[in-house]
Chains A and B, each alone.
Chain A
Amino acid sequence: MKKIAPTLIVAAIAVLPLLGLSTYILHVLILTIMWSVIGMAWNLLGGFCGQVSFGHAAFFGVGAYTSGILYNKFGISAWWGMPASIGVVAVFALFIGFITLRLRGPFFALGTLAVGVILRVTAENLPDVTEGNLGIMIRERSWVDKTWYFYIILTLAVLVFLLVKKVVGSRLGYYFVAIREDQDAAESLGINTTYYKTIALCLSAVITGLAGAFYTNYMGYIDPKVVFALHDISIVVIMVVMVGGVATFWGPVVGSAIMVLLAELIRSIPMLGAAHLTFFGVLLIVIIIFLPNGIIGDIPKLKRLLGIRKNL
């Protein structure tokens, strides 16, 4: 049962568009799956390898702009941004890793935070490349209907899920967790910590960039304030993972479902505006206090709280 559960869940999600869902619901599903992808990416670096990034918007934005610029400057389909972003983001992440990965703990977090902000400011001030604050509009949309976007992001999510599982169960995964638990011990056990942290960062960044490239194609419009946003991207992805469960396989999926639904709910309340951030903040505090390991990480505790005890 445990073995086929993921297949069943994916199959159930895959048939959803056939049920004639409204465009809005499909949109919410697409966002949820996209955030699962970003969450899984962040989790690989932050959850398993212990390198907490506050700047994942940088990778998301670079992926998004790879797509946007290919379309805008080179006149080719923005979909080419997905394969192209892999190379672009990998090289970018190598560079960022070279600078930030010598920092440890909170200093790494601050370093990545700075990277995200620097990228936003750069994108705003390079109108020749990025169109600056005007942003880039993809005028020829591939499909009006959302079904294909849904299947594209679902495919990406399934591939990323499988990749994360594979990586975590392998030598790489053991090294990531060893580095998270004690970098000095890992180093003295023969693990080249700088090298493996760089791999974790590149993997995480590339997956995040793919989601960014998808975002450009799906939304049809990007600007620096959106795709390089500290609070709407870098912080939200941390919340997705923390709410769902750090260093778990399903945590990012559950976390993104909750966060996207919550964001939509709050958005439907009129006159609230940016106050949705307050709600997120409160939610995060509640989660940290009551479920420090996230929903997936604290399943036994949740069961106890809800009175569903496992029969012994």
Chain B
Amino acid sequence: MTPLLELKGISRFFGGLAALTDVSFEVRKDEILGLIGPNGAGKTTLFNVVNGFYAPSRGEVFFKGERISGLKPHQVCARGLARTFQVVKPLQRMSVLDNVIASAFLRAKSKAQAVQIAGEVLHLTGLYDDREVISKGLPLGKRKRLEIARALATKPELILLDESFAGLNPTEQNESIDIIRKIKEIGITIMIIEHNMKVIMSISDRIIVLNYGQKIAEGSPEETRNNPLVIEAYLGEA
């Protein structure tokens, strides 16, 4: 069976800096794949390459067997691959509902349908009661969730979540874990970048570890936790 997403030998350079070096792995349908690594390891860059913001300097990305490296972000999204931003990018002067309607239009045939999709997604992400709020005024926790809601409204098969938990208090974190489980239940595959070890270990089926732009480990949460290379990478950071 072809994997849902496949990275083959991805490198990305910024001038002389190698943000990613020869990274290969695959995302299987219906799994939650955790992506971890110290700050500056290249995790966000990897999302940017997958979603089409950056072209890879070397290597190729395949989604559902189709080569997507070289496509524009909107084309990648239209093929069923959505992402959120670590530094949230709400459409500030639009209400929460309008934010989500704008992305729901990708699949909706009419405005009524877009409103309906937006309503479903807002219920799922627990933002329905905030739908009239202008998103500029949302607290960070909810802005992070709005990122997820917007991505979901494009009806993806694979969603890339970039540090959706950072800056959340424990209650919000638990809510977000529930949301991610629900997303998995409705049949969406998830790749998630997360710093919080407890969170990532508890929700991931598999984990990939990046360090200095290289993949240093891949395996179950159990294997990752006990991998000496991983321990060293994180100790090295501290």
Contact = CB atoms under 8 A, between A and B. Distances in A.
B55 to A, nearest CB: 14
B53 A190 contact: no
Contacts of B73: 184, 187-188
A189 B154 contact: yes
A23 interface: no
B49 to A, nearest CB: 13
A294 to B, nearest CB: 14
A284 to B, nearest CB: 22
Given A171-B105, A174-B102, A185-B85, A190 B154 contact: yes
Interface stretch (B35-43, B86-94, B180-188, B212-220): B86-94
The bracket for how many chain B residues form the interface is 20 to 34
Contacts of A171: 105, 111, 114
Interface of B: 51, 53, 72-75, 77-78, 82-83, 85, 89-94, 98, 101-103, 105-106, 111, 114, 150-151, 153-154
Interface in A173-193: 174-175, 177-178, 181-182, 184-193
The 10 closest A-B pairs by CB, nearest first: A181-B91, A190-B77, A185-B89, A190-B106, A189-B103, A174-B102, A178-B102, A187-B73, A188-B73, A182-B89
A170 interface: yes
B147 to A, nearest CB: 9
Nearest to A185: B89
Contacts of B106: 189-191
Contact of B74 (A170, A174, A188): A188
A189 B111 contact: no
Interface string A61-88: 0000000000000000000000000000
A236 B72 CA distance: 37
Most A-side CB within 10 Å, residue of B53, B101, B102 = B102
A177 B74 contact: no
A191 B106 CA distance: 7
B170 to A, nearest CB: 28
A175 B154 CA distance: 14
A245 to B, nearest CB: 13
B83 A174 contact: no
Nearest to B106: A190
A190 B81 CA distance: 9
A193 B74 contact: yes
B74 A187 contact: yes
Interface in A149-203: 169-171, 174-175, 177-178, 181-182, 184-193
B89 A174 contact: no
B74 A192 contact: yes
Given A184-B53, A187-B72, A175 B105 contact: yes
A43 to B, nearest CB: 15
Nearest to A171: B105
A170 B111 CA distance: 7
Contacts of A178: 91, 94, 102-103
